[in-house]
């Protein structure tokens, strides 16, 4: 799994990249009450706002961590945003992306580096 400084995680599954937010981020945000997901098929560029989340405290934007196409979204979050708090790196994923070149992830933080980053 790879990590960004925006507290997103990326995991390669069947040539696609699954994206979510880290447990640390979910804990800091507090209980999520609303998630607005992008349309499937949308082509996005790195740092474009793709997901809106609202916690009990405030609204935040989730950015695309890399360039690519959104091919699938986790619609279960619409009715049950708390999945993100319960299982941030599992059932709480946000979307899957198709990338032209997976090697763009090579420079991202691994788990050790991310844990150092947040400590």
Partner 1 sequence: MTELRKTALHGKHVELGARMVPFAGYEMPVQYPMGVMKEHLHCRAAAGLFDVSHMGQVTLRPRSGDVADAARALERLVPVDVLGLKEGRQRYAMFTDDGGGILDDLMVANRGDHLLLVVNAGCKEADIAHLRAHLTDDCEIEELTDRALIALQGPAAEDALAGLVPQVRAMRFMDVITADTLFGPLWISRSGYTGEDGFEVSVPNAGAVGLTESLLAMDGVEPIGLGARDSLRLEAGLCLYGSDIDRTTTPIEAGLGWAIQKVRRTDGDRAGGFPGADTILEQMQTGAPRTRVGLSPDGRAPMRAGTPLFRDEDQADPIGTITSGAFGPSIERPMSMGYVTPDLAEPGTTLFAEVRGKRLPLKVVDLPFRSATFKR
Q: What residues make contact with partner 1 under the rule CB under 8 A? A: 30-31, 33-34, 36, 52, 54, 56-59, 78, 82, 85
Min separation Cβ 85 and partner 1, Å: 8
Min separation Cβ 24 and partner 1, Å: 14
Pair 96, 41: CB distance under 8 Å: no
Min separation Cβ 35 and partner 1, Å: 8
Residue 117 in 3-state DSSP?
Answer: helix
**Which lies closer to partner 1 via its Cβ, residue 56 or residue 107?**
56
**Which lies closer to partner 1 via its Cβ, residue 71 or residue 85?**
85
Task: State how far Cα 10 lies from the chain centre.
Answer: 7
Residue 26 in 3-state DSSP?
Answer: helix
**Which lies closer to partner 1 via its Cβ, residue 27 or residue 100?**
27
Q: How many residues does the chain have?
A: 119
Distance CA 59, CA 19 (A): 19
Min separation Cβ 30 and partner 1, Å: 6
**Which lies closer to partner 1 via its Cβ, residue 45 or residue 78?**
78
Pair 50, 35: CB distance under 8 Å: no
């Amino acid at each position: 799994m790879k990590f960004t400084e925006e507290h997103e995680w990326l995991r390669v599954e069947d040539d696609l990249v699954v994206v979510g937010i880290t447990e640390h981020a979910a804990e800091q945000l507090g209980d999520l009450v609303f998630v607005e997901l992008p349309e499937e098929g949308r082509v996005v560029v790195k740092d474009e706002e793709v997901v809106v989340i609202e916690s009990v405290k405030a609204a935040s934007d989730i950015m695309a961590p890399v360039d690519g196409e959104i091919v699938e979204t986790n619609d279960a979050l619409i009715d049950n945003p708390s999945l993100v708090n319960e299982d941030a790196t599992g059932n709480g994923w946000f979307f899957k992306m198709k990338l032209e070149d997976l090697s763009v992830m090579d420079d991202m933080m691994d788990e050790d580096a991310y844990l150092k980053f947040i400590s």
